[in-house]
Amino acid sequence: MVCSLCATHAWPDVGRAARDRNLIGKPYLSPPKVLRSDGLVTAPVLVTGAAGFIGSHTVEALCRRGLPVVGLDNLNDYYAPERKRANLEEVRAALQGAPFTFVEGDIRDRALLNNLFSEHRFGSVVHLAAMAGVRASVDDPWTYYDVNLTGTLNLLAAAKEHGKPNFVFASTSSAYGRTETIPFVETDTADRPLAPYPASKRSVELLGHSFHHLHGLDFTALRFFTVYGPRGRPDMMAYKVFDNIFFDREVPLYNGGNMHRDWTFVLDIVAGVANAATRRLGYEVINIGRGEPVLLSDFVAGIEAVTGKKTSLTNKPMMDADVSFTYASIDKARQLLDYEPKVSVKEGIESHWDWYQDAVLSQAREAQTPGGSASPTSSTGSTGSAGSGGSEPQQRV
Ligand SMILES: NC(=O)c1ccc[n+]([C@@H]2O[C@H](COP(=O)([O-])OP(=O)(O)OC[C@H]3O[C@@H](n4cnc5c(N)ncnc54)[C@H](O)[C@@H]3O)[C@@H](O)[C@H]2O)c1
């Protein structure tokens, strides 16, 4: 398959095996029960960050519900833009002509946003575009505030000016910091974020309240808990563990893997997002997790089991910006969004592994054969402004 975006790269059918397992591309998402008769469900949806991990799955889910989608993404090099183009290719292949338009552009470009909102009269905005690394935000807080706060302000202002579409915002479990309330519940003050990234996300939740209060904008912040699965970000642990096994990349295992994470499969997250996009709730902050924390070392063991190979991770002490526990209360999501996570961590790891073989290992093999053109797309920049290059370790398969 040739990439229709750049017409030069050849992409494998990423996620094929996962689709065969019926996890990807299968519309298991239940239709929303609360549909308004105010035009919301037929008006187009703007999905920002559409080429990213969660964004690309969100585009698919919304289109499968019959909604026209406009995707916006600046394809930055926080991780390889080729990976994001490959995500878009997979979306296009899966949707086969469904009404999806992609626009390459930046949420910091106010003129662009004004044109987009004037042209499309969106019924909903699903705002996923962000600089999304906790640790990278410590090194470059400026970029994080510029994109995550100023960029979001631009979108909120455009929404206010253009018909007040339902606004859904991707927030994060890291907003809770080192809370002592377990499981994490939305009534927590969440006013002690440990790094600029969660501080920027919490700031947007507050800004959203101002727009709701002053202008009547419906604003729902969804706090995602450790998302993993096909098209997963190369800077996140699941992907890095695969990279450690197959490319000998050095990967830190913080606190000896003795930290719990509420790992949540991407299609479960996206089911919550799609339900939120199709119902107006006033102002709400809602956790979207699995509600069953798993030890990091057990998650790694799950990857070793599915690949049949051992990791060689490097033990490191826990970082200042990190927490030892995440655990979502999902009662509110169940109540307001009919949200019910369905994919076990075991199934999710298998699906992630299927995708990694198709999308990463097969490309690496192709690159190693004489005349192969594709290159692995797992390298990451740290701030979104650095280049995505760097020499790739040899594949160990
Ligand atoms: N993955 C997780 O575990 C997780 C957890 C909590 C919250 N979130 C949030 O979910 C959202 C999606 O995360 P993801 O994991 O899919 O990350 P991602 O990096 O794969 O997706 C974000 C996308 O936004 C785009 N983007 C960044 N800056 C932009 C800008 N200025 N203009 C236009 N596009 C821009 C990027 O190119 C990227 O494709 C983010 O807001 C993130 O903070 C993710």
Please check the confidence at residue 15 and state whether its pLDDT lies above 80. Answer: no
Which atom of ligand 1 lies nearest, measured to the CA of 76?
Answer: 37
Please check the confidence at residue 242 and state whether its pLDDT lies above 70. Answer: yes
**39-48, 173-182, 293-302, range with the lowest pLDDT:** 39-48
Looking up residue 39, the CATH number of its domain turns out to be: 3.40.50.720
Local confidence band at 368 (pLDDT 50, 70, 90 cut-offs): confident
Look up the domain containing 160 and give its range.
Answer: 29-228+263-290+327-345
When pLDDT is averaged across residues 334-359 and rounded to a whole number, the result is 98
pTM above the 0.85 mark?
A: yes
- Rounded CA gap, 130 and 127, in Å? 9
Flag whether 350 is in a domain: no
Distance separating the N- and C-terminal Cα atoms of the chain: 24
Local confidence band at 371 (pLDDT 50, 70, 90 cut-offs): low
Flag whether 68 is in a domain: yes
Whole-number pLDDT of residue 363? 87
Local confidence band at 380 (pLDDT 50, 70, 90 cut-offs): low
* 310 Cα to the center of ligand 1, angstroms: 30
pLDDT averaged over every residue in the chain: 87
Burial (Cβ within 10 Å: 0-12, 13-18, ≥19) of residue 6: exposed
Whole-number pLDDT of residue 231? 98
Q: Check 197, 327, 339, 356 and give the catalytic one.
A: 197
Flag whether 371 is in a domain: no
Whole-number pLDDT of residue 366? 85
pLDDT digit string (tens) for 174-229?
999 999 999 999 999 999 999 999 999 999 999 999 999 999 999 999 999 999 99
In the chain, how many domains are there?
Answer: 1
* 132 Cα to the center of ligand 1, angstroms: 5
The answer for residues whose C-beta is within 8 angstroms of residue 2's C-beta and 6 or more apart is 8, 9, 10, 11
When pLDDT is averaged across residues 238-248 and rounded to a whole number, the result is 97
Please check the confidence at residue 234 and state whether its pLDDT lies above 90. Answer: yes
Whole-number pLDDT of residue 41? 46
When pLDDT is averaged across residues 358-384 and rounded to a whole number, the result is 66
The DSSP H or E segment spanning 172 is strand 166-172
Report the residue among 47, 54, 149, 171 best suited for mutation to probe ligand 1: largest number of ligand atoms under 8 A from its CB.
54
When pLDDT is averaged across residues 132-157 and rounded to a whole number, the result is 97
Flag whether 125 is in a domain: yes
- Rounded CA gap, 11 and 387, in Å? 21
Residue 171 in tokens: 């927030």
Q: Residue 368 phi/psi, 5° resolution?
A: -85, -15
Q: Residue 79 phi/psi, 5° resolution?
A: -135, 170
Local confidence band at 69 (pLDDT 50, 70, 90 cut-offs): very high
The answer for residues whose C-beta is within 8 angstroms of residue 264's C-beta and 6 or more apart is 224, 225, 226, 227, 228, 288, 289, 290, 328, 341
Flag whether 397 is in a domain: no
When pLDDT is averaged across residues 19-43 and rounded to a whole number, the result is 42
* 190 Cα to the center of ligand 1, angstroms: 21
For 230: left if phi > 0, alpha if psi spans -120 to 50, otherwise beta; the answer is beta
> Which residue's alpha carbon is at the smallest distance from atom 26 of ligand 1?
129
Flag whether 14 is in a domain: no
Q: How large is the greatest C-alpha to C-alpha distance in the chain, in angstroms?
A: 62
When pLDDT is averaged across residues 336-346 and rounded to a whole number, the result is 98
**256-260, 318-322, 340-344, 390-394, range with the lowest pLDDT:** 390-394
When pLDDT is averaged across residues 265-291 and rounded to a whole number, the result is 97
With contact defined as beta carbons under 8 Å apart, do 23 and 353 qualify? Answer: no
Whole-number pLDDT of residue 121? 92
Which atom of ligand 1 lies nearest, measured to the CA of 73?
Answer: 34
Flag whether 141 is in a domain: yes
> How long, in residues, is the chain?
397
With contact defined as beta carbons under 8 Å apart, do 164 and 218 qualify? Answer: yes
145 as an active site residue: the answer is no
- Range with the largest mean pLDDT of 24-33, 210-219, 316-325: 210-219
* 394 Cα to the center of ligand 1, angstroms: 29
When pLDDT is averaged across residues 17-34 and rounded to a whole number, the result is 37
Flag whether 381 is in a domain: no
Please check the confidence at residue 369 and state whether its pLDDT lies above 80. Answer: no
> Which residue's alpha carbon is at the smallest distance from atom 23 of ligand 1?
49
Share of the chain above pLDDT 70, in %: 83
Whole-number pLDDT of residue 3? 33
**74-78, 109-113, 317-321, range with the lowest pLDDT:** 317-321
